Structure 1
Amino acid sequence: MKKIILAAIAVLTFGWANAQEVKFGVKGSVSLSNFTGDDNGFDWKSKVGFNAGGFAEIKFSEKFAIQPEILYSLQGAKTKYEDGYASDIYTYDEKYNLSYINVPVMFKYYAAEKFNIEVGPQIGFLVSAKCKYEYLNESETEDVKDIFKSVDFGLNFGAGYDISKNISAGVRYNLGLSNIAKTEEGNDFKLHNSGFSLSVAYKF
């Protein structure tokens, strides 16, 4: 994955040097995130989040462009956890809220004048991780950053449509490639980020 990131940076540098047009913009997305991998007894469910930030679209031909982005992203998942014995079984709702600074570099191909498809690597830096426990009318929030790795790698796939000269909409899927769970030696438990997002962007 590190080689992919380095290759993306090299192509980005080349694209900037040979750009025909560069546009900057801001974007915001509603997301549906989840954990994949080993469930370890947890029945992971998707949770609603968001991401927001800025980007630069570097277009070096009518068909091809590179779009690096910097996004603040709220991700995670939710589940139910049972504890107790026999008839004294308690069910807790758990919601994991993970905040990242994500840096995707998207390679865009304009299949039509206003429609594009995109793919590209992403690196994410964990800012915070909290778990909210809920039981009946009681709730408690715990800092769980120490059980997650500080860096995440992924691969994005998506498509976009230019509604107007300045406004565009897009859909994207993030496939987590790296294990985000910190594990002790000998423990092969793996957990990955994943999620869909629906975005609206404004180009200056």
Structure 2
Amino acid sequence: MKKYTTFLFVLVFSISQLSNAQAAIVAMIFGDKVASEKFNLSMEIGVPFSSFSNVDDLKMKNGVNFGIAGNLKLSENWYVSPTVYFLSKRTFQLNNTDLHSNDEYLNSLYMNTRAKTVISYTDLHVLFSYQLTDSNFRFGLSPQVSFLGKAKGTYEGTEGELTQKITDFVNKTDYGVIANVGYFLRSGHEGKGIIFNLRYYQGFTDVLKNNFEAGKNKSSYIALHVSLPFLTDELASKNKKPEPVSED
């Protein structure tokens, strides 16, 4: 997990270097209202580690979330962020599974084997957050609904790897709730308010159909997540905490 965390931070640092130009472009296209003290847009990047209930021999793998959010300041402490992840991949490895195809001979070659499985969604959620007074910590909850895009499994066998489309074995929607703990980094990114998040998602629906995995397979994941606001330098300076006054 450590190497994926390092990769996330390197990716965030690289993307954040482009934020000045992005903020200027966003303000130019949409006007100052999308880069104000009350509202801004942000790029959302996350690395989820997914699991499913009632699935034996499952190993969590890192996926990816990528999208955009609108961030609205409701009061001094309360915030709301409608978010869409255009790319949301939940990845896991099945260590003792079978190929499910219409070819019985092919199925016999890929029995009791390992398969890396990727389920791709479009996620929609609305995060309600409370920031403690005189603190950089935010705590939030959000409902989430996910719409299936595609799903595939890559099976290992004596004949080599075989990739199969498994969209027909996955239900079309998933919904659940996100619990989030965020840290608002005022001093970083020239004060443009990077938010580092640790979040947990718990789904309420059966994701995998019974002809693929028996039982009710509820989705869950732990994610490392970063929010990169599109803010201008002027607004960024307002986000910075004042330097302490020296008594010397």
Q: TM-score, normalised by structure 1?
A: 0.79
Read off the aligned partner of 1:96 and give its amino acid letter.
Answer: T
Read off the aligned partner of 2:71 and give its amino acid letter.
Answer: E
Of 178, 182, 187 in structure 1, the residue corresponding to residue 205 of structure 2 is 178
RMSD: 2.4
The alignment status of 1:78 with 2:93, answered yes or no, reads yes
What is the CA distance between 1:168 and its match in structure 2? 1.6
DSSP 3-state at the match of 1:133: strand
DSSP 3-state at the match of 1:146: helix
Stretches of structure 1 lacking an aligned partner (at least 5 in a row): 1-19, 84-89
What is the CA distance between 1:27 and its match in structure 2? 1.5
Does the 8 A contact of 2:97 with 2:115 survive in 1?
A: no
Quick one: percent identity of the two aligned structures? Answer: 26
Stretches of structure 2 lacking an aligned partner (at least 5 in a row): 1-36, 99-110, 231-248
Equivalent residue number for residue 239 of structure 2? none
Larger Rg: 2
Higher strand share: 1
Structural mapping, 1:108-127, within 5 Å: 108-112=129-133, 113-127=135-149
Q: Runs of at least 4 residues of structure 1 off by over 4 A?
A: none
Provide, for residues 84-117 of structure 1, a one-character-per-residue CA deviation record: whole Å limited to 9, x for no partner.
Answer: xxxxxx6511111000100111110102432101
Equivalent residue number for residue 219 of structure 2? 193
Provide, for residues 179-203 of structure 1, a one-character-per-residue CA deviation record: whole Å limited to 9, x for no partner.
Answer: 112348xx97211111111112211
Does the 8 A contact of 1:91 with 1:135 survive in 2?
A: no
Change (3 A) 1:135 1:31: same
Structural mapping, 1:12-161, within 5 Å: 21-36=38-53, 38-39=54-55, 42-71=56-85, 72-81=87-96, 91-112=112-133, 113-135=135-157, 138-161=160-183
What is the CA distance between 1:48 and its match in structure 2? 1.0
Read off the aligned partner of 2:204 and give its amino acid letter.
Answer: L
Read off the aligned partner of 1:106 and give its amino acid letter.
Answer: L
Cα distance in 2 for residues equivalent to 1:35 and 1:137? 29
